[in-house]
Amino acid sequence: MENFTFHNPTRIVFGKGVTTQLGKEVFAYGNRVLLMYGKGSIKKHGIYQQVIDSLRQNGIQWIDYEGIKPNPSLHQVRSAISICREERLDAVIAVGGGSVVDAAKAVAAGACYDGDVWDGYLKKVSWSDSLPLFVVLTISATGSEMNPASVITNDETMTKASFYSPGSYPKVSFLDPSFQVSLPTQQTIYGAMDMMAHILEAYFNGVPNTDVQDYFAEGLMKTILIHLDRVLDQPENYESRAQLVWSGTLALNGLNAAGRGLGDWSSHRIGHALSACYDFPHGMTLAMIMPAWMRYVYKHDIPKFARFAREVFGFSGKEKELASNGIHAFQEWIKKLGFPTSLTDLGVRVDTLADLARNPSIPYPLGKLKELGPEDVESIFRLTNY
Amino acid sequence: MENFTFHNPTRIVFGKGVTTQLGKEVFAYGNRVLLMYGKGSIKKHGIYQQVIDSLRQNGIQWIDYEGIKPNPSLHQVRSAISICREERLDAVIAVGGGSVVDAAKAVAAGACYDGDVWDGYLKKVSWSDSLPLFVVLTISATGSEMNPASVITNDETMTKASFYSPGSYPKVSFLDPSFQVSLPTQQTIYGAMDMMAHILEAYFNGVPNTDVQDYFAEGLMKTILIHLDRVLDQPENYESRAQLVWSGTLALNGLNAAGRGLGDWSSHRIGHALSACYDFPHGMTLAMIMPAWMRYVYKHDIPKFARFAREVFGFSGKEKELASNGIHAFQEWIKKLGFPTSLTDLGVRVDTLADLARNPSIPYPLGKLKELGPEDVESIFRLTNY
């Protein structure tokens, strides 16, 4: 196990009906806020009404910022920052999934920074200051509701980048699983894929002697496998939604990574290049890249890949076969969920793969389990055509 | 799953050599501190030296408060509070295990409270204020390093009581597993027993639909079973010590309980009566009471006791047999560790059991999986003579 610091100050308020507590929590920090959300599905499902009822009851005024896109753009973030500055707002509320939360984190930090917010993504600055951020989660996937990371896309340079800044933990996140019972099937699946990928980026990173972390990761993965199945069968099953919601938050709140170093993150970064160039959904890029990455690197840690097969899929057998069978089972799970599995089927031409592997979204040298260069990433792209 | 709020603001600094960072963290809160510890074994093992070196390097003055006993007494807590007040100290540092940390929590909160500190244990007051508390952990057991609970003994009334107060999370806890390689075997065993009991108090409490919490709990228990064995065989095995240390902290930092309600806690409270009257070590009382409690209540949740047997001990079979076999395996583990298993062997006379079951340390009605009265507790005492 490696030395680590763990500190996660976000307060989680979890369960049916908890959004009624939003206004009271926000009021401790001010009474003029920016209310950010996506394309408005929260209005159809009564979530928006619950949010503004709670704000009104606590005398909080808000300015709506509607229309945050999946893979949120730097352009939108900058315009929302301008509103915070001009209106001297006290806090930011994100109502949505990871895209809205990530954009809101950027806005909250950017509003307290004199320069351009993209500086944070270029690692020119690490923010300790931010407007207080509150989250009402409507899609479980990114874990952004309990971590200080943000990923956005620079729509001028077509690059996707992230920051991870101690000042950017949400103050309070409200997780009501009943908000997710009406989620489209595809978003539920993409979310589960994202959670699995987060867990695996830390799980497969070559640091030995991490039993307690490994059991934790395997427990999260087993929970996701079991309860995603139930939710696909019964979308309104509150208890299984609750298991997915809490698993998604725990998958990337720092606990799974504590003691493992920083994780590998190759698949995410390769996926970011695909999202930046083709606007593919994040979950879809992970579904395509992660099994290919596994097949490319697994020989560098066969015991861990064998453990994955044993503990998550219940397989037994010899180490090397196990390692390979676990990856196969993971691929089959992804295929069964209906993800596209081939880059060429999605219209990505083979003659562009060399350029794609050199997209600035990919910071080389990449990876921890095995260090990868652009040629390795090209090989991984080719392995997606399975 | 039940609704819950999770908020744990303690910063954990984990690993070899981390105590060098103590002074810098303390300095952010002041430069005059109370340094609390036990009977001085920290001086033998160089831990005290590391602590004061770090304080000196940051210009921090300290007053020693040596001699905190296991099952720390109200008397000592009161006298340490007087010192904090008279000397107008800025912070409290606990160097030790759960007893020292719990006493230091009481001192830190009591120093900011005008009345008598015992009021907090009588639930007459819930403190939001406290002197900043820092922990250098030398014995893993109670999890007190990352929670806001404190248990002390009122040496006048011979009762043991606890508080759980949002203002009492340690600011920063330093967990260096290498400090525990010289721990006496018995303390290592008592500590592991305490961790297991903490996990089980939340695990067996009758709340359904808690897969992610259950896998988490089972992972912690498996880690403890594996690495306690290794540490008993190789006391200086840093990696296994590290697994035990982090498991002990995670066992009672709120995560395992989140969504399960408040847990059962019968075994702890019954054990507190034994410690209050006979000064038995906390871990020993748990080793005696918990299996007896399990045998008394398991029929009220056979599926969960069967799951325990399957997931923690790897058993298979029919539910009812599994449930019983899991308890048996747990008892055998306890016996193998050398714990006394019979109350009468320890000199507790059968004709005192009725009074013992009515000790004010036990707040009736007790328990969540099954609500218990004094007669039930008498029956559980009798079941300890296995």
Q: Residue A327 is encoded by which pair of tokens?
A: 């990856």
Shared domain check, A197 and A111: no
With CB atoms and an 8 Å threshold, state whether B223 touches A239: no
Distance from CA of B101 to the nearest CA of A (A): 19
Shared domain check, A174 and A199: no
Rounded Cα distance, A185 and A235, in Å: 8
The string of pLDDT tens digits covering residues B176-231 is: 999 999 999 999 999 999 999 999 999 999 999 999 999 999 999 999 999 999 99
Q: What is the CATH number of the domain that holds B311?
A: 1.20.1090.10
**A273 lies in some domain:** yes
Shared domain check, B189 and B172: no
The domain in which residue A44 lies consists of: 11-179
Rounded Cα distance, B198 and B156, in Å: 28
What are the distances in angstroms from CA A33 to CA A56, A130, A162, A276, B123?
A: 12, 13, 24, 30, 38
The DSSP symbol for A205 reads S
The string of pLDDT tens digits covering residues B23-74 is: 999 999 999 999 999 988 899 989 999 999 999 999 999 999 999 998 899 9
Q: Distance from CA of residue B142 to its chain's centroid?
A: 2
Shared domain check, A77 and A19: yes
CA dihedral A195, A198, A201, A204 (to 10 degrees): -50
pLDDT at A73 over 60: yes
With CB atoms and an 8 Å threshold, state whether B209 touches A243: yes
Please count the structural domains in chain B: 2
**A53 lies in some domain:** yes
Residues of A with CB under 8 A from a CB of B: 1-18, 208-209, 211-212, 214-216, 218-220, 222-223, 226-227, 239, 242-243, 246-247, 250, 255, 258-259
For A243, name the nearest residue in chain B, comparing CA atoms only.
B212
Give burial (CB, 10 Å; 0-12/13-18/19+) of A365: exposed
Shared domain check, B274 and B136: no
* Mean pLDDT for all residues in chain B: 96
pLDDT at B330 over 70: yes
pLDDT computed for residue B160 by the predictor: 86
The H-assigned helical ranges of A11-117 are: 22-27, 41-44, 47-57, 74-86, 98-110
With CB atoms and an 8 Å threshold, state whether A242 touches B209: yes
Query: Are residues B383 and B296 in contact, defined by beta-carbon separation less than 8 angstroms?
Result: yes
Shared domain check, B162 and B90: yes
Rounded Cα distance, B360 and A193, in Å: 52
Which are the contacts of A160, defined by CB distance < 8 A and separation ≥ 6?
A: A71, A151, A152, A153, A154, A272, A273, A275, A276, A361
Q: Which of A84, A136, A90 is nearest to A110 (CA)?
A: A84
B3 — pLDDT class (breaks 50, 70, 90): very high
Query: Are residues A135 and A173 in contact, defined by beta-carbon separation less than 8 angstroms?
Result: yes
Q: What is the CATH number of the domain that holds B173?
A: 3.40.50.1970
Directed axis angle between helix A266-278 and helix A282-297, to 10°?
Answer: 140
A127 — pLDDT class (breaks 50, 70, 90): confident
Backbone angles phi, psi at B141, to 5 degrees: -170, -65
Shared domain check, A322 and A193: yes
Shared domain check, A189 and A175: no
With CB atoms and an 8 Å threshold, state whether A215 touches B222: yes
Which are the contacts of B25, defined by CB distance < 8 A and separation ≥ 6?
A: B11, B13, B134, B171, B172
Query: With contacts defined as CB-CB under 8 Å, which chain A residues touch B216?
Result: 215-216, 219
Q: What is this structure's pTM?
A: 0.97
Q: Residue A112 is encoded by which pair of tokens?
A: 């307290």
Rounded Cα distance, A56 and A106, in Å: 26
ipTM of the complex: 0.96
Give A280-283 contacts, CB < 8 A, sequence gap 24+: A280/A346, A281/A70, A281/A71, A281/A190, A282/A70, A282/A71, A282/A98, A282/A141, A282/A142, A282/A190, A282/A194, A283/A141, A283/A189, A283/A190, A283/A191, A283/A193, A283/A194
Query: With contacts defined as CB-CB under 8 Å, which chain A residues touch B220?
Result: 212, 215
The Cβ-side half-sphere exposure at A360, using a 13 Å CA radius, reads 11
Of the two residues A45 and A213, the one the predictor is more confident about is: A213
Give burial (CB, 10 Å; 0-12/13-18/19+) of B115: exposed
Q: Which of A142, A120, A136 is nearest to A281 (CA)?
A: A142
With CB atoms and an 8 Å threshold, state whether A212 touches B226: no
Q: Which of A152, A29, A48, A46 is nearest to A95 (CA)?
A: A48
B127 — pLDDT class (breaks 50, 70, 90): confident
- Return the bridge partners of B152, or none: B161
The string of pLDDT tens digits covering residues A324-366 is: 999 999 999 999 999 988 898 889 999 999 999 999 889 999 9
Rounded Cα distance, B311 and A217, in Å: 15
The string of pLDDT tens digits covering residues B68-122 is: 998 899 999 999 999 999 999 999 999 999 999 999 999 999 999 999 999 999 9
pLDDT at A101 over 70: yes
Q: What is the 3-state secondary structure (H, E, C) of A293-309?
A: HHHHHHHHCHHHHHHHH
Rounded Cα distance, A24 and A34, in Å: 16
The string of pLDDT tens digits covering residues B141-187 is: 999 999 999 999 999 998 889 999 999 999 999 999 999 999 999 99
**A84 lies in some domain:** yes
Query: With contacts defined as CB-CB under 8 Å, which chain B residues touch A214?
Result: 219
**A49 lies in some domain:** yes
Q: Which of A158, A143, A152, A103 is nearest to A274 (CA)?
A: A158
pLDDT computed for residue B188 by the predictor: 97
pLDDT computed for residue A386 by the predictor: 55
Beta strands in chain B, from DSSP E residues, in sequence order: 4-14, 32-37, 61-65, 91-96, 133-137, 149-154, 159-164, 172-175
Q: Residue B274 is encoded by which pair of tokens?
A: 């034994």
**A157 lies in some domain:** yes
With CB atoms and an 8 Å threshold, state whether A220 touches B227: no
Q: Give residue B284's identity as a one-letter amino acid code.
A: M
With CB atoms and an 8 Å threshold, state whether B258 touches A246: yes
pLDDT at B6 over 70: yes
With CB atoms and an 8 Å threshold, state whether B218 touches A222: no
- Return the bridge partners of A149, or none: A164
Shared domain check, A365 and A273: yes
pLDDT computed for residue A362 by the predictor: 94
The string of pLDDT tens digits covering residues A137-157 is: 999 999 999 999 999 999 999
Q: What is the 3-state secondary structure (H, E, C) of B100-168?
A: HHHHHHHHHHHCCCCCCCHHHHCCCCCCCCCCCEEEEECCCCCCHHHCCEEEEEECCCCEEEEEECHHH
pLDDT computed for residue A293 by the predictor: 97
DSSP, residue by residue, A214-231: HHHHHHHHHHHHHHHHHH
Rounded Cα distance, A61 and A82, in Å: 18
Of the two residues B127 and A60, the one the predictor is more confident about is: A60
Shared domain check, A217 and A174: no
Which residue is associated with the tokens 């600011």?
B171
Q: Pick the residue of B169, B178, B209, B211 with the most A CBs within 10 A to test the interface with A by mutation.
A: B211
For A218, name the nearest residue in chain B, comparing CA atoms only.
B215
With CB atoms and an 8 Å threshold, state whether A219 touches B219: yes
Shared domain check, B285 and B218: yes
With CB atoms and an 8 Å threshold, state whether A18 touches B9: no
Rounded Cα distance, A284 and A341, in Å: 9
Query: With contacts defined as CB-CB under 8 Å, which chain A residues touch B1?
Result: 15, 239, 242-243, 246
pLDDT computed for residue A209 by the predictor: 97
Rounded Cα distance, B219 and B201, in Å: 15
**B14 vs A4, A211, A255: nearest CB:** A4
pLDDT computed for residue B386 by the predictor: 56
**A1 lies in some domain:** no
Shared domain check, A145 and A276: no
Give burial (CB, 10 Å; 0-12/13-18/19+) of B3: middle
Q: Distance from CA of residue B80 to its chain's centroid?
A: 22
Q: Which of A58, A138, A57, A28 is nearest to A94 (CA)?
A: A138
- Average pLDDT, integer, range B11-33: 98
Q: Residue B52 is encoded by which pair of tokens?
A: 């004061």
Q: Give the count of Cβ contacts less than 8 A between chain A and B.
A: 119
Which are the contacts of B321, defined by CB distance < 8 A and separation ≥ 6?
A: none
Which residue is associated with the tokens 């049916």?
A16
Q: Which of A89, A111, A106, A74 is nearest to A35 (CA)?
A: A89
Of the two residues A385 and A218, the one the predictor is more confident about is: A218
pLDDT computed for residue A375 by the predictor: 97
Last residue of a domain, one of B155, B179, B203: B179
Q: Residue A72 is encoded by which pair of tokens?
A: 């949120």
The string of pLDDT tens digits covering residues A210-258 is: 999 999 999 999 999 999 999 999 999 999 999 999 999 999 999 999 9
The H-assigned helical ranges of B234-281 are: 238-250, 266-278
**A77 lies in some domain:** yes
Q: Residue B111 is encoded by which pair of tokens?
A: 């120093």
Last residue of a domain, one of A154, A179, A204: A179
The Cβ-side half-sphere exposure at B242, using a 13 Å CA radius, reads 22
Give percent of chain A with pLDDT exceeding 90: 89
- Average pLDDT, integer, range B249-259: 97
Last residue of a domain, one of B179, B198, B222: B179
- Return the bridge partners of A163, or none: A150
Q: Give residue A124's identity as a one-letter amino acid code.
A: K
B345 — pLDDT class (breaks 50, 70, 90): confident
**A4 lies in some domain:** no
Backbone angles phi, psi at B95, to 5 degrees: -115, 105
Backbone angles phi, psi at A336, to 5 degrees: -60, -30
Give percent of chain B with pLDDT exceeding 70: 100
With CB atoms and an 8 Å threshold, state whether A211 touches B226: yes
Query: With contacts defined as CB-CB under 8 Å, which chain B residues touch A8?
Result: 8
- Burial code of B153-182, b = ≥16 C-beta within 10 A, e = fewer? bbeeebbbbbbebeebbbbbbbbbbbbbbe
